[in-house]
């Protein structure tokens, strides 16, 4: 359910875009002209806790940049259990990449675990940015490459690391997720039974 609202405060909007531009600069330089164009295409929004940004059974129409807050991507298995396949906080792009890129009906849901501040861009505006932006094509390719490498590494971790090793790796690399995301979501994401994860946490 879309319960988010546009952020109107200009100082707050400027902060969101500053975080966004700083993140982009980690990969490519972004000229002033492209910054102005991004301000036209990306919509600054506030999404309260438990907002579903995108839902299963639909074609996902937006790409989301998380400025603050925690978002997860999950689907329902044959027994209607929620299987979390990605969790992240800002700053980072976040969407159901395969379905967003190919504009196919998705079986995934994008769920705001906490209150979130986001910059959202529609699929149509992504196409405009590719045609007109100086850096957008190069940056989109690098973002996709990063996503594919992360997905590959996740598969490797699930098959080669023990449950405890997977939890320790998440704790080391993304400690804020450990502190702010409910245990049941973390357990699902790591492929660990919640009871087993509780025991691991107690040991540590």
111-124: pLDDT as tens digits: 999 999 999 999 88
Please indicate, yes or no, if residue 28 is contained in any of the structural domains: yes
Percent of the chain whose predicted confidence (pLDDT) is above 70:
95
Please indicate, yes or no, if residue 148 is contained in any of the structural domains: no
State pLDDT tens for residues 4-57: 899 999 999 999 999 999 998 888 888 888 899 889 999 999 999 999 999 999
Q: Are 149 and 101 in contact (CB under 8 A)?
A: no
Residue 112 is part of a domain; what is its CATH number? 2.60.120.10
Residue 80, Ramachandran bin (φ over 0: left; ψ between -120 and 50: alpha; else beta): left
Q: Are 194 and 122 in contact (CB under 8 A)?
A: no
How many domains are contained in the chain?
1
Please indicate, yes or no, if residue 173 is contained in any of the structural domains: no
Q: Which of 24-38, 78-92, 139-153 has the lowest mean pLDDT?
A: 139-153
Please indicate, yes or no, if residue 177 is contained in any of the structural domains: no
């Amino acid at each position: 359910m879309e319960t988010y609202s546009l952020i109107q405060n200009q100082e707050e909007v400027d902060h969101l875009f500053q975080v966004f531009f700083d993140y982009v600069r980690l990969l490519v330089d972004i000229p002033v002209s492209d910054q102005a164009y991004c301000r036209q295409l990306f919509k600054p929004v506030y999404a309260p806790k438990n907002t579903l940004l995108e839902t299963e059974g639909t074609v996902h129409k937006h790409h989301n940049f998380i400025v603050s807050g925690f978002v997860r991507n999950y689907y329902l298995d044959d027994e209607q259990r929620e299987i979390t396949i990605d969790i992240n906080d800002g700053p980072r792009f976040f969407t159901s990449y395969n379905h967003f890129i190919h504009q196919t009906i998705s079986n995934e849901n994008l769920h705001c675990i906490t209150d979130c501040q986001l910059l959202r861009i529609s699929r149509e505006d992504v196409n405009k940015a590719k045609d007109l932006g100086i850096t957008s094509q190069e940056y989109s390719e690098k973002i996709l490459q990063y996503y594919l490498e992360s997905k590959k590494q996740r598969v490797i971790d699930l098959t080669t690391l023990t449950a405890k090793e997977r939890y320790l790796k998440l704790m080391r690399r993304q400690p804020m997720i450990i502190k702010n995301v409910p245990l049941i979501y973390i357990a699902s994401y790591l492929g660990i039974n919640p009871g087993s994860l509780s025991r691991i946490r107690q040991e540590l």
